Structure 1
């Protein structure tokens, strides 16, 4: 039901635009804080406000994204309640002040929420490595399940069907291999999402280029007509 992806500065603009654009396409909505500045501006402002001893490295992770999917077994009529509860859990876990946005997308086979946040440690450091540890990846699902079931008053399946099949395979591994395999899956999810964002940006640029070309052709044709 939940996956965590990590993004460096180069992908932040793409991902933030993706969150907003996909939400607009199919009656999506944002459960995150309402601000007068953009997501990218907030990320920069929040990091600048940290009392960091060193400059933030270019390859530092500035944004994390926990993708929470509505289980197929859950009542669709309680969709918003489900995501609000998930939002409450995640904002408490990773810090309300660090929440960037929480866009719910409804244009796929099943609704899902992108809970985006800045990985800030309890002592005020920017460190995804310290926040999203292997232990965190291991405990996130069971902790979320307990919270969701207690809050919603019903059974909540944390893993989707495809994930359950994978879990059955992974369950045969030793603990270390299991954790390593889960971490690798998270890394691949992050890489796929980043490549998707880059592709969307390329397609947008292509669209703009074609539009500009059409305008130039039209302008040239008008000049030829006027010359005649």
Structure 2
């Protein structure tokens, strides 16, 4: 899994504290300080992130505005297939990932590359200044817009996968199916995993209620088809939303809210009494339309996620 974020100059000191573990007082409760010694700094120049950042900005042009995205950060998480791999293989994965990022964005622009083994899942923090050459003014300048284009984001995961598979013989499955997810850290992912799991359990109960209601209402064949179609769309919707990440399910926050609405309407439909069988069928049709709209919206997640930030 990989996640990109664009940052202003004002965010750099805080990022440096987190990446380089410059404090023992962490707001992230997932950090196990007893394992911090396992963390690995892949930069070998003996400097630090802030010094590198200041030095690079002195060499290139950067607009003097507070909202300029002067630093970009990738978080690349160890794939599930390597969770039980040897330390040497995990180390090779992160070192080759850094090499790929250096080649893509310029080694001279790399400000930090730190592997954290003291959190829930090992991951690489890679920070770089997005620099391009300004042909008109014949100078290098900072431009996240020109470096981190839609094409760059849409091709990132495929390119990283191909590089890792070519270099690492033990690497097979890849990095999360071309998705760039809008989560800041593993803790945030877990939060939505837990909520989605609860919703899936709730949905199972709703589906069981639908089955019982079909027998109770003794509805016509046409109404039975409507219920079956609604059930099928629920299954399709679940499959479309879920992705296997560390053996867990991932859902985007916007879809989570939409899914809650769908469940509420479905439960309302299944609680109709026998005297309101016609109304039940009508409610199921409305849910079917909501599911269709939600599925269509889900198709836009890849582009909207890739262009966020």
TM-score surpassing 0.5?
yes
Q: Paired residue for 1:67, among 71, 75, 84?
A: 75
Looking at structure 1, the residues matched to 72 and 14 of structure 2 have their Cα atoms a distance apart, in angstroms, of 13
Residues 87, 177 of structure 1: CA spacing in aligned structure 2 closer, same or farther, 3 A cutoff? Answer: closer
Q: Residues 151, 9 of structure 1: CA spacing in aligned structure 2 closer, same or farther, 3 A cutoff? A: same
Q: 1:96-128 CA deviation, whole Å, 9 max, x = no partner?
A: 100111100012221000011111124422011
Write the deviation string for residues 116-170 of structure 1: whole angstroms up to 9, x where unpaired.
1111124422011111112211110000000000000231420172498559x89
| Separation (CA, whole Å) in 2 of partners of 1:175 and 1:133 | 20
Larger Rg: 2
The alpha carbon displacement at 1:18 in A equals 0.7
Check if 1:76 corresponds to 2:92.
Answer: no
Contact 1:141 1:158 in 2 (8 A): yes
Distance 1:107 1:175, change over 3 A: same
What secondary structure is seen at the aligned counterpart in 1 of 2:19?
Answer: helix
Question: How far apart are the structure 1 equivalents of 2:44 and 2:132?
Answer: 20
In structure 2, do the counterparts of structure 1 residues 137 and 164 end up closer, same or farther at CA, with 3 Å as the change threshold?
farther
Aligned to 1:7: 7
Matches within 5 A, 1:26-65: 26-36=37-47, 38-50=48-60, 52=61, 55-65=63-73
Counterpart check, 1:138 vs 2:154: yes
- Partners of 1:84 and 1:178 in 2: CA distance: 27
**1:150 lines up with 2:274 in the alignment:** no
Structure 2 unaligned residues grouped into runs of 5+: 22-30, 135-139, 177-242, 256-293
Gaps of 5+ in 1: 188-228
Change beyond 3 A, Cα 1:82–1:122: farther
After superposing the two structures, state which structure 1 stretch, 175-184 or 88-97, moved more: 175-184
The correspondence for 1:90, drawn from 101, 109, 123, is 101
1:35 match: secondary structure? coil
Q: Note the alpha carbon deviations across 1:76-108, whole angstroms, 9 max, x for none.
A: 211100001101100000001001111000122
Change (3 A) 1:109 1:40: same
Q: What's 2:127 paired with?
A: 116
* Rounded Cα–Cα distance in structure 1 between residues aligned with 2:93 and 2:19: 19
Q: TM-score, normalised by structure 1?
A: 0.70
TM-score by length of 2: 0.53
| Distance (whole Å) between structure 2 residues aligned to residue 133 and residue 171 of structure 1 | 26
Structure 1 Cα separation of the partners of residues 103 and 133 of structure 2 = 12
2:154 partner SS: helix
Deviation by residue 1:31-82 (Cα, 9 ceiling, x = unmatched):
124234x3112211111111x3x74322211211110111011252111000
Q: Flag the 1:180–1:47 CA change in 2: closer, same or farther, 3 A.
A: same
Q: Which has the higher contact order (CA 8 A, sep 6+)?
A: 1
Q: How many residues align?
A: 181
CA gap 1:76/1:27 in 2 versus in 1, 3 angstroms = same
